[in-house]
Structure 1
Amino acid sequence: MATPTSRIEEHPDLVGMRARYARASTTPTAQGLESLTLLAGLFLLVSPWIVGFTRFDALTVNNFVTGIALAVIGLALGVAFERAYGLSWAVCALGAWTVLSPWLVSGNVDTTRTILTNVITGGIVFLLGLALLAVGRKGGKKNG
């Protein structure tokens, strides 16, 4: 007796979930959040030079790498939200890391500039991640 084979990509639950995320990605809210995530990543990337704390090598590299990761996630969400939606959790994690990084990276880098920049940027990024999760969960529904 032969058993039918099917591919996981054709599973009805997965197809329905991707369709829901595709609908969600077409909303102005989702598109705005994706753009803001990309912009927050780009700001974090260049923040040591804008704010002026490049003398702290560890935090400069941290913000540079974290900013690149965040910008790439923002771009991935903008291009294929239905496939990259799971990265919304990573946006939250990067936001939390950005808030804590002035105290956790090596060296004494917790100055007023670094703390304000990272706490404000990280808080915004964390909230963006939560909002992206909510948009994907709502799935493009008009009500509820």
Structure 2
Amino acid sequence: MRLRHEMAERATSTPQGQAIETLALLTGLYLAASPWITGFNNLSTLAVTNMLVGIAYAVLMSGGFGRAYERTHSMAWAACALGAWTIIAPWVVAGDVSTTKTVVNNIITGVIALLLALAAAAAARRAES
């Protein structure tokens, strides 16, 4: 058990792990605030969705990659799902999206979130070996 804890510590103590964690936190906070930053808060359902998903992503990814490999691995894949959801949310939640900035914002932010989550999963896997 101590070995698994040390592996998780190694993943977050590297500059790469710290960069992933910091960028993921910023991505989640941006996603939560994006309806008001980009000005599409009139689509209230999508605005609330972005806010909730952004907060969940930030909390999930800033948790220090978890304390055990299994938890880290699960957190990273859950974050991948949140990134994928962010990409498709404008069509699923808002239906016929009338503004391009809504779609572009969610696609770019979702892709960044997805890539950071995959990087976190890879860092956890490297720390295990």
Please confirm whether the aligned pair reaches a TM-score higher than 0.5, indicating the same fold: yes
Q: Does 1:136 align with 2:124?
A: yes
Q: Distance in 2 between matches of 1:137 and 1:98?
A: 25
RMSD: 1.7
What's 1:121 paired with? 109
> Which whole-Å CA distance do the structure 1 matches of 2:109 and 2:55 have between them?
14
Sequence identity percentage: 43
Shift in CA distance, 110/29, structure 1 to aligned 2, threshold 3 Å: farther
Q: In structure 1, which of residues 50, 63, 68 is the aligned counterpart of residue 37 of structure 2?
A: 50
Task: After TM superposition, give the deviation of residue 73 of structure 1 in Å.
Answer: 1.3
Asked whether 1:23 is paired with 2:10, we answer yes
- Equivalent position SS for 1:34: helix
SS at 1:139 equivalent: helix
Which residue does the alignment assign to 1:82?
Answer: 67
Q: Which amino acid aligns with 2:18?
A: Q
Deviation at 1:110, TM superposition (A): 5.0
Aligned residues: 126
Q: Tell me by how many angstroms 1:137 deviates.
A: 0.3
Task: Please state whether the residue corresponding to 2:76 is helix, strand or coil.
Answer: helix
2-side partners of 1:62 and 1:26: how far apart?
32
Deviation at 1:140, TM superposition (A): 7.5
User: Structure 2 unaligned runs (5+)?
Assistant: none
Distance across 2 between alignment mates of 1:58 and 1:107: 10
The structure-2 alpha-carbon separation of the partners of 1:110 and 1:101, relative to structure 1 and needing over 3 Å to count, comes to farther
TM-score of the superposition, structure 2-length normalised?
0.89
> Secondary structure in 1 aligned to 2:85?
helix
AA aligned opposite 1:45? A
The answer to whether the Cα contact below 8 Å between 1:91 and 1:129 also exists between their aligned partners in 2 is yes
Tell which structure's C-alpha radius of gyration is larger: 1
TM-score (norm 1): 0.80
| Structure 1, gaps ≥5 residues long | 1-13
Residue matched to 2:46: 59
Aligned partner of 1:27: which letter?
T
